[in-house]
Amino acid sequence: MAATQSGTNHIASANAYAYPASTVHVAMTGAKTSINHKVVFLTFDDGVNTSMSPRVLATLKQYGVHATFFIVGNTINSTTAPVLKQEYESGHGIAIHSFTHPYNFNAPGNSGGAIREYYQTLSAMRNVLGPKFDSKVWRYPGGHMSWRGLAASDANLSAEGITWMDWNAAVGDALGASGPKTAAAMLQYHAKTLVSFPQSNVEVVLIHDSVGKELSLQILPQIIDYYKQHGYQFGILS
């Protein structure tokens, strides 16, 4: 049984490779931070489920690396709870990706929507992982970079000590019909994103473990190998 700890989004043994999301957030801009070596954060959005999430977990275990799972709260139920527990107990980070995955947190009058859905998801997570579990890492559906008018929502999150996290690398599996259709195209898309953002010691990679993301799973070993070959350590967001 993994040793849990109060007030965090990961087990105690993950302390060795857990980094404050607030520090990573700053490092992604290219600014100097306490992170003075190369670290990659594999992040998986839109789980949890019983078809894709366990297969992603198996691949991560096979390659001996850890990731951060951004969970949509309404996916947590009695069927998926064991998978969420496995993610946590395997030493991965557990983060929050809203409760219903809407795209309207910047809508007039909805400045409280994000914090409300944050707490809905946190409550669902605590029902599975225990009342002392906590996560202060949030990702907006579509990413913060996709929207304007989030200042009030951001302020609500910040007041609770919550950091919103985007990404500075991706595999293109969120693009739907316009996205890459082959493994080679997906790897090429990933390579292109690496030069599209400010140069930094950290790479936060957007991938999805939602149902049907077979191509993302197929290239995951190659993504992992790329970062290993380029001298990156693998971290989780905390």
Give the per-residue pLDDT at 124: 98
Question: pLDDT for 209-235, tens place per residue?
Answer: 999 999 999 999 999 999 999 999 999
Range(s) of the domain holding residue 127:
12-237
6 lies in some domain: no
Q: Give a yes or no: residue 7 inside a domain.
A: no
Residue 177 has a pLDDT of: 87
Tell me, yes or no, whether 2 lies in a domain: no
- Does 1 score more than 70 pLDDT? no
Number of domains in the chain: 1
Question: Is 4 among the domain residues?
Answer: no
Residue 136 lies in a domain: yes
Q: What is the mean pLDDT of residues 132-152?
A: 97
Per-residue pLDDT tens digits for 53-69: 999 999 999 999 999 99
The answer to the question of residue 185 being in a domain is: yes
Confidence of residue 44 (pLDDT cuts 50, 70, 90): very high
Average pLDDT of the residues of the chain: 96
- At 177, list the tokens: 């019909």
> For residue 3, is it within any domain?
no
CATH of the domain at 149: 3.20.20.370
pLDDT at site 70:
98
**Is residue 16 a part of any domain in this protein?**
yes
Going from the C-alpha of 90 to that of each of 70, 71, 166, the distances in angstroms are: 15, 16, 24
- Indicate the residue type of 66: H
Q: What percent of the chain has pLDDT over 70?
A: 100
